[in-house]
A and B are shown apart, each in its own frame.
Chain A
Amino acid sequence: MYDIDQVRKDFPILDRKIHGTPLVYLDNAATTQKPRQVIDALVHYYEHYNANIHRGLHTLAEEATAAYEATRLKAGAFINAEYPAEEIIFTRNTTESINLVSNAWGRKFLKPGDEIVFTAMEHHSNLVPWQMIAQATGATLRHIEIDDDGKLIWDDVLAKIGAKTKIVAITQMSNVLGTINPIKEIAAIAHRFGAVMLVDGAQSVPHMPVDVRDLDCDFLAFSSHKMLGPTGVGVLYGKRDLLNAMDPYMGGGEMIMRVSYESSTYAALPNKFEAGTPNIADVIAFGAAIDYLEGIGMDAVRTHEIAITQYAIDALSAVEGVTVYGPKDAHDKGGAVTFNYGDVHPHDLSQVLDQQGIAIRAGHHCAQPLMRRLGCVATARASFYIYNRNDEVDALVDGLGAADRIFGRATTAARA
């Protein structure tokens, strides 16, 4: 394990007071805070070697190119890609990574009658792109149902993936329920039918060891800003052969080989998918975020989160009127605990907690179909990261008391 108090000192924002009380930041599934090392890397780049990459022949351009490409190799090593220099594509975020695949792969390989399979727990970003591409290509959408604990129904996995399946697009860790899905097993089934396996790793990659070769997934999408890095950087990992077989997503500079007025030939991987000047500074600072996580070790991150998540599940479940959604054993899920408190609407709850310096997320969490499946309009969600301590969970639980006072024992349990 690592020293959490030592880690906390690296995060300047944790010194901030909100409404006079210390910030308790429990909205890490939305975005994480940034350590000094990441902020310094950003500033250092702008102060010392700001230049456009890949084409300048001067010192600054060479330094910037080297640092940018170094992050590519780090990101590849982080998920154990076989050919990181070619298989890691930088995008803006997970959403863009998935859209890149749905467009560049989907338009070329999907035909009417082909099936796209996802699950009932997908974030809108792994749902809407497939709906759009299904409309454009005539492919059909199918989704795997979940049980009342928020886990995939295995019989339905077997029922939905079949000979017509061309791509299976599944989140590794639900942003609402925290459920960790058995990607390796599902990828094996997909491959048996010749389908391609895309993994939405936005929540999993920041919180647990992820090994693309062990999972044998074909695509993996994730975001820098959910793992200590800056906003504006996403990663798409794709197997080299698949990326080579795809057409470009966007056209422009950087992604070409030869250009005439009539036509162009395209650059090799990864530049083929990185048209235009990329987000150089943020990619470089993302490298510092990866270094920071490697320094702690992803096994240690996961161990810490299992502990604090279980603590939160138990503490919240013990409060009269609280309903916790999703798996109750933290070993089956990531560090997000979604709940409701009696009749208190999550927005009101979030507002009352904010007044006490506690930041949680309230709403549908970009998963409206899942909310309907759970039978609610909205939920509250507390999500944890490497710097959260159990006493912050205690603050959250205590904070519910204020909601109780304002809404007058608004809990259903208390009324009954």
Chain B
Amino acid sequence: MASARRTGYSDVPQPQPELELDELYRELILDHYKSPRHHVKLARADVVAEGYNPVCGDEVEMQLAFDGDRLTGIGTIGRGCSISQASGSMMSELVAGKDIAEIRRLSGEFTRMMTEPGGTVPEDLGDLEALQGAAKFAARVKCATLAWHTLADGIAQHEKGDGVVRREES
């Protein structure tokens, strides 16, 4: 009802819906945080990509090995909050062995899940589905997407034929 709306105060913060921390810190996230998968340095890497979020200091270093269009190896090492590190671990598990077109498709799915809270959760994101709760905490979305952006940079470099790439989130 338009008449019931206060006008001119659209920027006044409204009471936020209660967000349960359990929804953010799901068991699966904590598991990946404490025991990150693919937490290795590859013996042979074609590309090294570094991601850094200067706002919070989250870091991720990703080593990537390719066979043509296929990501044959990924090593992800980082320092940062539970969301950023768990996301990197879950993503590494999901994308290892997949070809670039498929990784790009999954990346799109993940980005949609994180930027459109409340939408349907894609079924093929594996453990990453657990990060859906983070989409409701606006400040944490960047933590969750850091690894994906870093991977995208790494793939772009691979396609260009360059070896090392550094990203700073802005």
- Are A371's CB and B57's CB within 8 A? yes
- Are B57's CB and A355's CB within 8 A? no
- Are A352's CB and B21's CB within 8 A? yes
Interface size on A, residues (CB 8 A): 20
Contact with B along A351-370 (1 / 0, CB 8 A): 11001000000111000100
Determine the residue in chain B with the shortest Cβ distance to A347.
B81
- Are B21's CB and A351's CB within 8 A? yes
Stretch with Cβ within 8 A of B (4 or more), from A133-141, A286-294, A402-410: A402-410
Residues of chain B with a CB closer than 8 A to A406's CB: 21-22, 25, 30
**C-alpha gap A408/B29 in the complex (Å):** 13
**C-alpha gap A355/B59 in the complex (Å):** 25
Interface size on B, residues (CB 8 A): 23
Residues of chain B with a CB closer than 8 A to A9's CB: none
Residues of chain B with a CB closer than 8 A to A408's CB: 30
In chain B, positions 67-102 with a C-beta closer than 8 Å to chain A are 79-83
Contact with A along B107-134 (1 / 0, CB 8 A): 0000000000000000000000000000
Q: Check B16 for interface membership: any CB of A closer than 8 A.
A: yes
Contact with B along A337-348 (1 / 0, CB 8 A): 000000001111
Q: Check B4 for interface membership: any CB of A closer than 8 A.
A: no
**C-alpha gap A363/B120 in the complex (Å):** 32
**C-alpha gap A378/B79 in the complex (Å):** 10
Name A377's contact: one of B16, B19, B57, B140 (CB within 8 Å): B57
In chain A, positions 276-323 with a C-beta closer than 8 Å to chain B are none
Residues of chain B with a CB closer than 8 A to A20's CB: 18
- Given contacts A19-B16, A345-B82, whether A378 and B57 have CB atoms under 8 Å apart is yes
In chain A, positions 235-294 with a C-beta closer than 8 Å to chain B are none
**C-alpha gap A261/B24 in the complex (Å):** 62
**C-alpha gap A346/B80 in the complex (Å):** 9
- Given contacts A352-B21, A406-B25, whether A377 and B59 have CB atoms under 8 Å apart is yes
In chain A, positions 358-416 with a C-beta closer than 8 Å to chain B are 362-364, 368, 371, 377-378, 402, 406-408
Q: Check B43 for interface membership: any CB of A closer than 8 A.
A: no
**C-alpha gap A351/B25 in the complex (Å):** 10
- Are A347's CB and B56's CB within 8 A? yes
B9 to chain A, nearest CB (A): 15
Residues of chain B with a CB closer than 8 A to A371's CB: 57
**C-alpha gap A352/B24 in the complex (Å):** 10
**C-alpha gap A19/B18 in the complex (Å):** 6
Name A364's contact: one of B25, B57, B139 (CB within 8 Å): B57
Q: Check B143 for interface membership: any CB of A closer than 8 A.
A: yes
- Are A363's CB and B57's CB within 8 A? yes
- Are B18's CB and A351's CB within 8 A? no
Residues of chain B with a CB closer than 8 A to A362's CB: 56
Residues of chain A with a CB closer than 8 A to B81's CB: 345-348
- Are A377's CB and B30's CB within 8 A? no
**C-alpha gap A371/B25 in the complex (Å):** 26
**C-alpha gap A355/B139 in the complex (Å):** 14
Determine the residue in chain A with the shortest Cβ distance to B140.
A351
**C-alpha gap A377/B81 in the complex (Å):** 10
Of residues B18, B21, B140, which shows the largest number of chain A Cβ atoms within 10 Å of its Cβ? Answer: B21
- Are A363's CB and B82's CB within 8 A? no
B111 to chain A, nearest CB (A): 21
A128 to chain B, nearest CB (A): 12
Name B82's contact: one of A348, A364, A377 (CB within 8 Å): A348
Of residues A347, A355, A368, A378, which shows the largest number of chain B Cβ atoms within 10 Å of its Cβ? Answer: A347
Name A355's contact: one of B21, B30, B79, B80 (CB within 8 Å): B21
Contact with A along B10-30 (1 / 0, CB 8 A): 000000101101101100001
Determine the residue in chain B with the shortest Cβ distance to A355.
B21
Residues of chain B with a CB closer than 8 A to A351's CB: 21, 24, 137, 139-140
In chain A, positions 138-156 with a C-beta closer than 8 Å to chain B are none
Q: Check B1 for interface membership: any CB of A closer than 8 A.
A: no
Residues of chain A with a CB closer than 8 A to B16's CB: 19
**C-alpha gap A258/B83 in the complex (Å):** 59
A365 to chain B, nearest CB (A): 10
A35 to chain B, nearest CB (A): 20
Residues of chain A with a CB closer than 8 A to B56's CB: 347, 362-364, 378
- Given contacts A351-B137, A377-B57, A406-B30, whether A345 and B18 have CB atoms under 8 Å apart is no
Q: Check B2 for interface membership: any CB of A closer than 8 A.
A: no
Of residues A345, A363, A378, which shows the largest number of chain B Cβ atoms within 10 Å of its Cβ? Answer: A345
**C-alpha gap A20/B56 in the complex (Å):** 27
In chain A, positions 6-24 with a C-beta closer than 8 Å to chain B are 19-20
Can you name 16 A-B residue pairings with CB atoms under 8 Å? A20-B18, A345-B80, A347-B58, A347-B83, A347-B140, A347-B143, A351-B21, A351-B137, A371-B57, A377-B57, A378-B56, A378-B57, A402-B21, A406-B25, A407-B25, A407-B30
With A347-B58, A347-B140, A363-B56 given, name 4 new contacts (CB 8 A). A347-B56, A347-B83, A348-B81, A348-B83
> 9 smallest A-B Cβ distances: which pairs?
A347-B81, A345-B81, A378-B57, A377-B57, A364-B57, A406-B25, A348-B82, A377-B79, A363-B56
Residues of B within 8 A of A (CB): 16, 18-19, 21-22, 24-25, 30, 54-59, 79-83, 137, 139-140, 143
